[in-house]
Amino acid sequence: MKSHAKAVVIGGGVVGCSVLYHLAKAGWKDVMLIERSELTSGSSWHAAGGFHTLNGDPNVAKLQAYTVQLYKELEELSGQSCSLHLTGGVMLADSPERMDFLRLAHAKGRYLGMDTELITPAEAKAMFPLMDEKHFVGAMWDPVEGHLDPSGTTHAYAKAAKKLGAEIVLRNRVVELTQDPDGTWNVITEQGTVKAEHVVNCGGLWAREVGRMVGVELPLLAMEHMYLLTEPMPEVEAFNKETGREMVGVLDFKGEIYTRQERNGILLGTYEKACKPWSPVNTPWNFGHELLQPDIDRIAPSLEIGFRHFPGIEKAGIKQIINGPFTFAPDGNPLVGPVQGLTNFWCACAVMAGFSQGGGVGLALSNWMVNGDPGFDVWGMDVARWGEWASLRYTNAKVRENYSRRFSIRFPNEELPAARPAQTTPLYDTMVANNAVMGDSWGLETPLWFAPKGSEPKDIVSFHRSNDFEHIGNEVRAVRERVGVTEIANFAKYEVSGPSAEDFLNRLMTNRMPKKGRIVLTPMLNEFGKLIGDFTIAKTDEEKFMIWGSSAAQKYHMRWFEKHLPKDGSVALHRFDQTLVGLSIAGPKAQELLQKLVDVDISSTAFKFMDFREMAVGGAPCMVNRITYTGDLGYEIWMAPAYQRLVYAAIKGAGEEFGIVDFGMRALLAMRLEKNFPTWFRELRPIYGPFEGGMDRFIKMEKNDFIGREAAAKEQAVMANGQGSKLRRVSFIVDVADADVMGDEPVWAKVPTDYGTVEKPHGYGAPRFDETGKEVRGSTAAQGASAVRGIVDGEWRVVGWITSGGYAHYVKKSMAQGYVPAALAENETAGMFEIEILGHRRPARINVEPPFDPSGEKMRG
């Protein structure tokens, strides 16, 4: 074993071997993987080995598509077979709601270039004759699904990595990690110490233990997972003989089961409601190539449904039941990336779907380590998406909830209850008493909307407009016509101070820093000119600034801030989190209301739009910003938690004469649509440039050499010259029935046939067959690498996608924001665009000017 390496990867499962291979492929030859036992000794060896490209997050789906593409290349390089079976797969819907879910997934696949197709139960039965089609209303076919040999695939990664110069050390447990003052890691093992510049935690079942070596409690938990293997089935053998092909994989939402062919029988796995964590506090180091005791009673309810739906399987004998542990994060997605607060300590763990995601995780992490950026939008997998509130017990409750709901529909207005409340403000009880429907905002309880007194404060979950619609409308109209108050504790809050504070912020941000007592809005870019932040910044003193941003991105942004802090200590950075909370008042009566609570002049001449001032509000010391996200006249009022109840009571008391109302987050988001305001992680993400995102007025190219300036200048030049295929954020008014956009819907445009093509992230598909065994010509599955059916429909083409939207209650319009080619971004022609909502293409029209207060006079007062 070498004593020095550029990077040490801890863990020899499929993810660790993928990371090692991708680092070596990217040019880091001096890399080493250290495994406590043998390769695949954790979860990889007993995995069911299925893979697919579909994912609720389209950015994760792209990485899954890459993973599937990679296997052929991996086999060729390594000489090791992955035993790849590209059978295709079918998702079965047993209800109209689940069919709506499949329509959403199919529509999302249009702009991802996926070859999915909505089919009938009879068509599904032709591919999987063991099912009884009477239990289903429809299905979706995905040609890029299948299964492989987990052990062979892991060893293919390992062999390919070794051919590229990487080293693998087996039977050598890492027992301690320490770091020298210069940042070098000491990887202390049973066989000696390796000094490394980088350490990657791919510990799998032991990732928590590896994290604890550096003082980090990672939010992941292992769950027992069972699947069974049947004896050989005559029906399977007959199907194979008659058609010359393997049975497709099937996912049954109602039964919470998945199936595929295994030799001459069937593999059937379940994500049961009565799920069970494994080793919830500590993972024993001596656990290895072992299985857990099966508990068929626990999965019996799912099996009962499965046997009704697939009567052919019920008659088969069970050859073996596999029960093994797999790790999950609270939301089911991996934990990937650098850990905030540590130098060169990386994670690639909680990768539950290792054979769907392992290749993409390895690619993204190697890009990040070698080039400084993952090369993809990996927020859905970023380890920084979890805060300190994601404790061991929180994780235990949330992972169990996620596991038990793996095949359940997550509705757009659905708030999940496990591990709540985790964080509350002093007003939590007051909001609940006011009949608030509460939501989870990065672990913090936040009012979403207020139900009328005497009614139950509860969402009726739906893909369509629901029971909150009328009440959100009332909140919006009250704000626009009178005044409303809402809690804004769920913003991120930071203070940057010191003699170099302004230089530091000018280097990070695209806008000029404000003068004392003033506020600016500014994006933040990475080195590649992509949007990684959107902030409100106030200069509170000569060497002091307050910053507000996205609450969910606090760890993400702290990681970036810390990376660029001067080494000389001339800048101090403080993150407030919930030690600073806030309230916002907005509406035409907001100024009159606030004036009653303060002892200074806040007229529009004395306290102008985008001003900042410290003042007592209702007798409590506060910081006040003359700005609101509603786009109306209003104020953000910030105070220590000890004062929040006092300030809220003063606002409500003074506001009685104006007819003040409480309004929630959903009303706030509806009002921002009326102003065409973007929101972070929907419209503004690291895959978009600032000019694509419509942030032009906040980009001051001449001010100084800020991070990302060169790349932003190139983007600006391309868009100014009308070159290339740059995108542009736009706002739509949509003609809908009773369902507004939810995000990720495709945008169709009526454009000339030579307008261009839609690229697909994968270039192959699996053929589909009819009941006679003949290939179905003209189906998306049979088209393979040719154009995707539905992407082109005469002159209509999918040209973009929706990022967010909803109903704008004051202007009485269904609205959406999204991205289309820049050449189309100002085309307000009626009949030019359509947006696909729940399987129906609805007319849409771009509106360049915001429908509410386009001149901005109201918010300026």
> CA-to-CA distance for 693 and 522, rounded, in angstroms?
13
Report the candidate in 26, 23, 27 with the shortest Cα–Cα distance to residue 15: 23
Query: Are 331 and 324 in contact, with CB atoms under 8 Å apart?
Result: no
Mean pLDDT of 609-631: 98
Which residues is 261 bridged to in the sheet? Answer: 266
Instruction: Tell whether the model's pLDDT for residue 779 goes beyond 80.
Output: no
Question: Which residues, at least 6 apart from 860, have a Cβ–Cβ distance to it below 8 Å?
Answer: 604, 608, 609, 633
DSSP secondary structure of 556-595: HHHHHHHHHS-TTS--EEEE-GGGSEEEEEESTTHHHHHH
Instruction: Tell whether the model's pLDDT for residue 482 goes beyond 70.
Output: yes
Instruction: Tell whether the model's pLDDT for residue 760 goes beyond 50.
Output: no
> CA-to-CA distance for 3 and 817, rounded, in angstroms?
54
pLDDT tens per residue, range 649-666: 999 999 999 999 999 999
Instruction: Tell whether the model's pLDDT for residue 810 goes beyond 70.
Output: yes
Mean pLDDT of 547-569: 97
What is the reported pLDDT for 376? 86
Task: Identify which has the larger pLDDT, 25 or 719.
Answer: 25
DSSP single-letter state for residue 602 = -
Element (H, E) at 75: helix 58-78
What is the reported pLDDT for 774? 38
Tell me the residue length of the chain: 861
Query: Are 366 and 25 in contact, with CB atoms under 8 Å apart?
Result: yes
pLDDT tens per residue, range 394-443: 999 999 999 999 999 999 999 999 999 999 999 999 999 999 999 999 99
DSSP secondary structure of 620-656: EEEEEES--TTSSSEEEEEE-GGGHHHHHHHHHHHHG
What is the reported pLDDT for 56? 76
Give residue 755's pLDDT band: very low, low, confident or very high (50, 70, 90). low
Q: Torsion over CA of 135, 141, 142 and 146, rounded to 10 degrees?
A: 60
Mean pLDDT of 692-711: 96
DSSP single-letter state for residue 684 = B
Question: Which residues, at least 6 apart from 617, have a Cβ–Cβ distance to it below 8 Å?
Answer: 594, 597, 598, 624, 637, 639, 647, 650
Instruction: Tell whether the model's pLDDT for residue 781 goes beyond 70.
Output: no
Give residue 785's pLDDT band: very low, low, confident or very high (50, 70, 90). very low
Report the candidate in 260, 257, 268, 191 with the shortest Cα–Cα distance to residue 227: 268
> CA-to-CA distance for 395 and 336, rounded, in angstroms?
17
Per CATH, 4-381 and 581-659 having the same topology is answered no
Task: Identify which has the larger pLDDT, 265 or 290.
Answer: 265
3-state secondary structure 816-837: EEEEEEHHHCCCCCCCCEEEEE
> CA-to-CA distance for 134 and 149, rounded, in angstroms?
34
Highest mean pLDDT among 113-122, 614-623, 777-786: 614-623
Is the CATH code 3.30.1370.100 the one for domain 581-659?
Answer: no
pLDDT tens per residue, range 278-322: 999 999 999 978 899 999 999 999 999 999 999 989 889 999 999
Query: Are 530 and 708 in contact, with CB atoms under 8 Å apart?
Result: yes
DSSP secondary structure of 423-439: B--TTHHHHHHTTEEEE
Mean pLDDT of 353-380: 94
CATH architecture of 4-381: 3-Layer(bba) Sandwich (3.50)
Give residue 723's pLDDT band: very low, low, confident or very high (50, 70, 90). low
Give residue 561's pLDDT band: very low, low, confident or very high (50, 70, 90). very high
Domain ranges of the chain: 4-381, 411-458, 581-659, 679-846
Instruction: Output phi, psi for 473, to 5 deg.
Output: -60, -40
Cis amide bond preceding 181, omega within 30: no
Strands (E), 695-795: 727-734, 746-750, 792-793
Instruction: Tell whether the model's pLDDT for residue 645 goes beyond 80.
Output: yes
Element (H, E) at 313: helix 311-314
Give residue 725's pLDDT band: very low, low, confident or very high (50, 70, 90). low
Mean pLDDT of 359-379: 94
> CA-to-CA distance for 256 and 451, rounded, in angstroms?
34
CATH architecture of 679-846: Beta Barrel (2.40)
Query: Are 646 and 451 in contact, with CB atoms under 8 Å apart?
Result: no
Report the candidate in 846, 767, 840 with the shortest Cα–Cα distance to residue 800: 846
